[in-house]
Structure 1
Amino acid sequence: MSVDQSFRNLQLLTPSLQKTLQGLLDTTSVDLSSLRTALSGSVTAKDLTSFAKQMENVANQIKDGATAGRLGSLVTKTRRLISTNILPLETRRDELVYQLTALEVQLMPIEKQITQSMSHLKTIQYFVGNQGTAIAQEKMRQFVERILNYVGQFQEYVLDSVHNTVAPCRPVWNVFQGVRQLLCRHLVDPLNGLWFCTMWCMVLFLLATPTSIKLIGYFDKMRKSSLLARTQIGSQESPPGPNWTSPDSEPVQVDIW
């Protein structure tokens, strides 16, 4: 599979991810402002504190003691109701309104981030599907250029070190190089050639020595046999005379070599 085809088949915003983000977006899109406004009103439809005060004023104006007593009792119960039930409800209401306000403040950026994330994922999906190959090649080219830049910087560093740090030791290196050339090429190499030739000569001598010894023995036997044969022939052809020599006298040796 080619790189272009791989980028086209790549899915960043999958259906499951899009469904999850959409559900989270719907959850964060709740209208908390209207709910907070509704809760910000009074707990009761009427102001019970004002109502109790009005009943107390009316009870003070009534001359009938029984009626005034019942109104006073009603005022007392109303104020007790306010202190035991209404005030705790108002406290809970204020806390709930505060929590709703804080939740609304936190949900606003979350909703914005979810919307931006979905938009960015769609944009990235489009660019990856249509320009993914070009983007990958561009990033690859930038990476190669960065590596080559590192190599060039290292080369410059090495050259700078050679010219400014190592170069003062060049005369010492030249002396060492000259001594090495003199010893290795002008002394050791000729000795190596001499010992190589000497070794081959010794090998040839070792191989030729047994053959030479056998040839010497063979030719010595041939010389002795030829000399003996000539001596016998000469003694048979010579007549006896005054100059005849005894058999004990040594024959004249004739060197045939």
Structure 2
Amino acid sequence: MDLLSFSNELEAQADLLPRGALENALKGHASSIRQIHREQVVPMEQAMKFVRARSTLSQSIRLLQRTAKDLPVKVTNVLSSIDEAEYLITHNASRVVKQETDVYMRSLIGYFRQYTDWVKNSLTGEVAQCKPISNLIDSMEIVACSFIVDSVNTFWFGLGGCCVFLVPSIILSVKLAKFYRRMDTEDVFEE
């Protein structure tokens, strides 16, 4: 239990009581509880914090001791790796750089070839697969419309007009033909 909050509640209850011996006794007990808290509880809490810190410190020291056992081996491994890398750099650096440059160059050339192949396939397979037929149709339209039909529009209009008047004129000429034949054979019409 928290002694300070209990002493505060006890003092608050004492203030609610009428003035007298009971109120004074309760206030005295509240102050003695605060004194007990100051003299005994606070030093105990500090000692517990110290014990906890000490146990945490001892656990950290044990963990450090366990990890420090492998530390010389790890340091030796790192130093040997550094020596190997230094030897590699001093003796094989130019050859390694040249090899990696060649590999990078080949990969770039491969990307460029792949792109050009894709462009060729796109042009021949998707874009230009009907181009000759399209060009032929466009050329026929240009020749037919621009050079032939447009230049003889009057001719076509006249031919259409002749076709419209040709059928009635044939009918009329057949009807009139019998009269012409009669005119040649009869004398009545010869004057």
- State TM-score, norm by structure 2: 0.39
- More helix per residue: 2
* Bigger RCO of structures 1 and 2 (CA < 8 A, at least 6 apart): 1
What's the TM-score once normalised by structure 1's chain length? Answer: 0.31
